[in-house]
Structure 1
Amino acid sequence: MFHWLDPTASLKKIHGLLRPDGAVALWWNVFGDTGRPDAFHDETVHLFASHPSSLSSGDAERLPHGLDTGARVGELAATGFITDEPQFLSWTLTLDPAAVRRLYATYSNVATLSPAQRGALLDALEDIAASRFGGHVERNMTTAIYTARRRS
């Protein structure tokens, strides 16, 4: 949830709380991996066409928050941290239709919809997972990990 906070103020506070050589680790799970096809995303992207994107997901004009390496490393460095090389892990998340519904219900751009809109969207996602994917959805994930240390 760090992407909801002011990064400069938050990182300054963390920096001040750490002892010299103390470390911070920040990570984000990003849906998608440009190197791998994502059939469920392709089948459901139309459902989100009229909805704003999530703050963390990015869009046509900006990278997903966790994958914007320049911004994340820059924020850490600007607040006095010595940054390590970011790490990116690719993995697959497997969901049944009910898990698809539960997961998508947590997304900020879904949670902010009216109850009727949210219900209709979640119903459609769950139905696509069941009817077009045989109850077995695989989503490509990338975990972005940023670590840094407070100077001695």
Structure 2
Amino acid sequence: MRRLASLVRPGGGLAVWWTVFGDPDRSPPWRADLDALYQRWLPAQGRGPAGAPAPLRVAERTAELEAGDWFGPVQVETIRWEHQLTPHGPRGLWGTFPNVREMSADRREAFLDGVAEVVASQPGGTVVAHYVTALYTAPRRNDSSLLTGHTNRAADA
């Protein structure tokens, strides 16, 4: 946080956001078929019963952003949105995900074919995908010690 704060001008602010692909509060029926694909091809990446995804654990993310007292107070906005996908759409979208891009070419193609098949098998050959974007913003606290590397905080004593 200190390094980020040193890059933000006094009076400036920090904005960070994450998009969660698949709203944990709105799980459509086709998601079970997608989860089965993840279990087969990317077992460590699938959704599980572990609770809310990291970006949606607001208290944890807020504490991280306020660590060191460089930024704050943190404001959080949760934006729920959706997008209709055809069988062709997931190939382009999922193909950009780092965990999918890191797969070997043959495994990646098999996984992407599977995602397209999940969509194609739904009524009308389309699905509505639900997403959540968590946006965290915070002003930089004005503190000249950011520039000098010295602090006068009691916690540093």
- TM-score between both structures, scaled by the size of structure 1: 0.80
SS at match of 1:27: strand
Q: Are residues 1:61 and 2:36 paired?
A: no
- Deviation of the 1:33 alpha carbon: 2.4
Listed one character per residue, the Cα deviations across residues 33-79 of structure 1 (whole Å, up to 9, x for unaligned) are 2332322312221011142444xx87443642311212211111114
Q: What residue is the counterpart of 1:14 in the other structure?
A: 4
Partner Cα separation in structure 2 for residue 119 and residue 101 of structure 1: 9
Q: What residue is the counterpart of 2:64 in the other structure?
A: 75
SS at match of 1:102: helix
Unaligned runs of 5+ in 2: 143-157
Partner Cα separation in structure 2 for residue 121 and residue 147 of structure 1: 36
- TM-score between both structures, scaled by the size of structure 2: 0.78
Q: What residue is the counterpart of 1:93 in the other structure?
A: 83
Partner Cα separation in structure 2 for residue 21 and residue 133 of structure 1: 52
Displaced runs of 4+ in structure 1, greater than 3 A?
57-63
Is contact 1:91-1:142 (8 Å) kept?
yes
- State the number of aligned residues: 140
What is the CA RMSD across the aligned residues, in angstroms? Answer: 2.1
Partner Cα separation in structure 1 for residue 44 and residue 5 of structure 2: 31
Is contact 1:58-1:65 (8 Å) kept?
no
Fraction of identical pairs, as percent:
33
Q: What residue is the counterpart of 1:26 in the other structure?
A: 16
- Please say which structure displays the higher CA radius of gyration: 2
Partner Cα separation in structure 2 for residue 84 and residue 78 of structure 1: 11
Partner Cα separation in structure 1 for residue 84 and residue 90 of structure 2: 9
Is contact 1:53-1:109 (8 Å) kept?
no
Alignment-mate amino acid for residue 85 of structure 1: Q
Partner Cα separation in structure 2 for residue 131 and residue 58 of structure 1: 21
Is contact 2:24-2:52 (8 Å) kept?
no
Could you say if the C-alpha distance between residues 58 and 123 of structure 1 is closer, same or farther in structure 2, counting changes exceeding 3 Å?
closer
SS at match of 2:103: coil
Alignment-mate amino acid for residue 36 of structure 1: R
Q: Are residues 1:45 and 2:23 paired?
A: no
Listed one character per residue, the Cα deviations across residues 97-137 of structure 1 (whole Å, up to 9, x for unaligned) are 11111111122222222211111111111122123243322
